[in-house]
Structure 1
């Protein structure tokens, strides 16, 4: 037996990592709630990984689990004690007497190794330590009472809490331990055998084709097996007489009277023949196949729902992208139709401040500026303004800068998301997620992000000017490739872009540059280079505006992705779906 125990321990150890990984991945199963099956996911996922734990645990467990289940006050513990031949589980008229499960196990059977229910702690003691006082068990604990009976070395006999207990915790423990069962002793009484909860559980036992023994305790003398079967058949349950025993009512000393009852002795005889050490291998194999088939069905259903959710998630993201693209187009089109003087002047002031140190041609600066600005005045982009100090201009413009177009675009985008993409079910995770604080950009965040993008643009323009102006002779006063003309053109390109003049930028540049272009190769090269720079500037400015809308889109995208089942979890479930073996190893 010791070598067999070592083999069991080795087999159980081999499933620790995979089972632990399954539990961890099970915690990551979630969904935004975009499909009708979403409400089923959390319950089904918990059930699948619980059953996976049971399946893995039972693969390497050679002992057969015989589990006593029944309702409150049916005398379950009394019959458990009578079968075991010892007062192991506490009995009495107070309800409930069994506060926690009690297992009667051979000392060499390591049932606590890798026990599949983390919420149930195990404690092993010798049954001889109980002396004259039986154990009531304790909540969340499985009390393992070991023995050295060789005739029962292949059995694990378990007394469970009541199926209809008022304590949810007790009901869940009874349900969990039932999953470990290979055979069941179903206990009821004359006043409870047609009750809803026990009846539903008995129906489940029959549907799962699990071997069971139906004991009706506290039966009156006039009650017959035919009457009991007839009543149960009237509720849709059907089974043969050879699985039903009526145990008479014992008002006192049931521990002495029950073992002497003929019906009980017949039950023990039938059970002993059905669960012999030599015959349990086929029974265990059958139960393993049944668990495998049940697990495959549940895993397949879970995978089906998750993949349906995954497809819905992908569709949602595509719709979000379409809303983003539509909002972006509308924003750019609106910017083309508007010319915000404050924004243009603010940026012009900032750029000029950056480029002042490069202005080596102070004398012709005003003349060059007037020549360049003339075509822009015809286009309506430039207006005369009173001279003001640099500091006052910055302060004034920062106070008046118009953020309304971007704010309006964000507001419109947010409304579209809630109207077109939000689930109808207010209880769905995505419905709540889209409305959480911090998801929608506020006005302060919008302003900060626009200013951040403008700072990046001016920094890029400064670096571009620095590169373009390298090698220009300090004494060169005319021509397109002078520093004064160069920075003037770049500034005007920027204010044209800021003003919404994306579509007329090339024409404006041609008009501004024409007086300075000669036929020299260097001048023509510089002309094309400045054109390219201006186009890049316009592109970057547009990108800066759109980046604010894109950031809002990313927040919504993160809302969904944070609620999706990770890809590695889906892969694990797919592998699980195809890897469940029918036969025990």
Structure 2
């Protein structure tokens, strides 16, 4: 992969908008998982990029309300950076204390929000902000390779406080978990302890504000608490557990000697080689999780594509079923009585065929005869276009509308996922997806318009190409046009596949062996058959349009192929590829 392509892919990897655009209809049981993955992947990528660019170990302080977390944090900073007091919750947003040489201000991950600078000289500290983080820079050489982060309370009733704490924990190489005698067994805090242990982060457990009962020292109290929390010694590393004595709360409360000694010991531990090792371990862990998530996205996309194919097959089955029923109903409408009416009309046309009579009388006789085919009538008019206009406007779109309605009902019954909150269920139930009666009517009329235009053009060509002889003339042309109008009305009235047989049986007695008669007879049969095929295709296309709307709605929800190609490339990266791309590419804030 070239450098330019690598940079483009790294930007996509970190871009929340790119991942938000990667969606699936959630037809499979795995589909809903994609949303969560697409939220966390760009955060993981931004986290890894920031870890690679900021040359420092991140030590994050987490805990519950009133555990003295901020007091301990200030002991690590060596001054009051995070405001303390009895107000709850005191810390409203993340507070970061970092050396100015780290360049942290321009290298923080974008998901941490806007960065606000604070001055540290007045010694009042700050409580952070609900959105984004507060950054305090220093020049203390003892903390040059350490970033200290205070977080909002994990058990805060304010949702954004908890989210801010969890976002900061993504950056943590080391976690100082601060508990108290009153809160160490809290469900929220205990759940976070379990999560932190599963991450593999260095976890220091601090029992703060420790006030052992008479006859018990701090060590005894700590042992009692850790045993209650972790009887199997699988959760807490006992060498990283400490109890610190109670310090009265209040504005400007200062940590005691034990707090300062603990802070100094931890900072010395991670300022040396252990800190570098810890950073590398965390970078490797973040990349491993990121790669696993990228591979999982591919698996979900493949499962969803397979479900879309199966869904389209079910939809096709419903379409064929509804079209078959529609054509059957159209044929059923053409009952025996209607067949006799058409045969009678054709015989009247040819029976009144008179070479000595004027052409207008012949065609007039044809068009004035009563004709009842599903509400159609054969009123007389002058000119072929007028004849066609009257015939085509007698068509009935109601059976087509009924077929579309039946199709929609079966789609909602058989093809909408049971999970009504899924993107597919919401999309397929959109009212605007269904063809309205006005839509069906206009499309049915358009089908008849095309049939009429085709019939007129075909008749003109037939008249030009007919063999010339004494038996052919404008009289027979008029008679044939009358028969074609009857054919047209029969088809749009529901005859379809039966019309050819009905008209054939009516005309056959009038056909002689003459070239003109045979020519006209063959053309009439061909035209009648074509009219039937065109109407059948036209009404099928209307139902097909409804089906295509559903297909397009589903495909709009399907994974975008260029995006999947990007995911495939990213999932194929090695850790070395990711390190090279994320450590030197453009920032994403």
- With the shorter chain as reference, the TM-score category is 0.7 to 0.9
8 A contact 1:373–1:382 mirrored in 2: no
In structure 2, what is the equivalent of residue 61 of structure 1?
A: 54
CA distance 1:235–1:468, change in 2 (3 Å) = farther
SS across alignment from 2:323: helix
Structure 1 runs not aligned, ≥5 long = 1-9, 345-360
Pick the aligned partner of 1:204 from 175, 195, 201.
Answer: 195
- Name the structure 1 match of 2:184: 193
Distance 1:362 1:23 in 2: 83
Q: Structure 2 vs 1, CA of residues 450 and 114 (structure 1 numbering), >3 Å: closer, same or farther?
A: farther
Pair 1:229–1:265, CA change in 2 (3 A): same
| Counterpart-to-counterpart distance in 1, 2:374 and 2:209 | 102
Task: Verify: 1:268 aligned to 2:289, yes or no.
Answer: no
Shift in alpha-carbon separation, 1:387–1:334, aligned structure 2, 3 A? closer
How is 1:277-292 mapped onto 2 (pairs within 5 angstroms)? 277-292=272-287
Tell me the distance in 1 between the aligned counterparts of 2:362 and 2:304: 67
Cα distance change, pair 384–126 in 1 and its aligned pair in 2 (3 A): closer
Task: Using the TM superposition, give the Cα deviation of residue 120 of structure 1 relative to its aligned residue in structure 2, in angstroms.
Answer: 1.4
Contact residue 203 and residue 237 of structure 1 kept, 8 A:
no
Bigger mean CA offset, 396-405 vs 149-158? 396-405
Tell me the CA shift for residue 50 of structure 1.
2.4
Report 1:123-138 matches (<5 A).
Answer: 123-128=116-121, 131-138=122-129
Aligned residues: 549
CA contact (8 A) 2:24 2:558 kept: yes
Q: Structure 2 CA distance, aligned partners of 1:445 and 1:230?
A: 73
Look up the match of 1:356.
Answer: none
Shift of 1:364: 3.1
**1:13–1:114: 8 Å Cα contact kept in structure 2?**
no
1:308 pairs with 303, 312, 320, which one?
303
Q: Secondary structure at the match of 2:435?
A: coil
* Match in the other structure for 2:240: 243
Corresponding residue for residue 230 of structure 1: 227
Q: Give SS of 1:438's match.
A: helix
State yes or no: 1:405 paired with 2:396.
Answer: no
Q: State the match for 1:551 in structure 2.
A: 545
CA distance in 2, matches of 1:258, 1:414: 71
Q: How much has 1:158 moved relative to structure 2? A: 0.9
- Cα deviation digits, residues 525-553 of structure 1 (max 9, x gap): 88766655544332221122112212222
Deviates more, 1:154-163 or 1:440-449: 440-449
Kept after mapping to 1: 8 A contact 2:511/2:518:
no
> Which residue is 2:37 aligned to?
44
Q: Does 1:414 align with 2:405?
A: no
Matched, 1:107 2:100: yes
State the Cα deviation string for residues 348-384 of structure 1 (Å, max 9, x = none): xxxxxxxxxxxxx99335547989999xx9xx98999
Give the counterpart of 2:424 among 410, 424, 430: 430
Whole-angstrom distance in 1 between the partners of 2:380 and 2:202: 96
Partner Cα distance (1:90, 1:15) in 2: 42
Q: CA separation of 1:283/1:470 partners in 2, compared to 1, >3 Å: closer, same or farther?
A: farther
The 3 A distance-change label for structure 1 pair 98 and 275 is same
- State the SS of the aligned residue for 1:123: strand
Residues 290 and 275 of structure 1: CA distance in aligned 2, closer, same or farther (over 3 Å) = same
Please tell me whether the aligned partners of residues 92 and 130 of structure 2 are also in contact (alpha carbons under 8 angstroms).
yes
| TM-score of the two chains, using structure 2 as the length reference | 0.80
Contact 2:76 2:263 in 1 (8 A): no
Among 405, 422, 442, the alignment partner of 2:436 is 442
Aligned to 1:216: 207
Residue by residue over 1:281-323, the C-alpha shift from the partner in whole angstroms, topping out at 9 and shown as x without a partner, is 3322211111122223333333333322221122111101110
Q: 1:447 to 1:496 in 2, by over 3 A?
A: same
CA distance in 2, matches of 1:73, 1:505: 89
Please state if 1:145 is matched with 2:139. Answer: no
SS in 2 for 1:258: coil
Paired residues of 1:472 and 1:482 also in contact (CA < 8 A): no
Q: Corresponding residue for 1:329?
A: 324
Q: Is the 8 A contact 1:480 1:516 kept in 2?
A: no
Instruction: Identify the residue that residue 92 of structure 1 maps to in structure 2.
Output: 85
Q: Taking structure 1 as reference, are residues 528 and 504 closer, same or farther at Cα in structure 2, changes over 3 Å only?
A: same
Q: Indicate yes or no: 2:3 matched with 1:17.
A: no
Give distance in 2, aligned partners of 1:319 and 1:334: 23
**Pairwise CA RMSD:** 4.2
Q: Is 1:172 equivalent to 2:166 in the alignment? A: no
Matches of residues 465-544 of structure 1 in structure 2 within 5 Å?
465-469=459-463, 478=472, 483-484=477-478, 487-488=481-482, 490-507=484-501, 508=503, 512=507, 532-544=526-538
Contact 2:60/2:150 (<8 A) preserved: yes
Deviation at 1:498, TM superposition (A): 2.3
Measured in 1, the distance between the counterparts of 2:36 and 2:260 equals: 40
| Partner SS state of residue 251, structure 1 | coil
Q: Contact 1:96/1:162 (CA < 8 Å) preserved in 2?
A: yes
3-state SS of paired residue (1:188): strand
With over 3 angstroms needed to count, the CA separation of the structure-2 counterparts of 1:168 and 1:386, relative to structure 1, is: closer
Cα drift, residue 87 of structure 1: 0.8
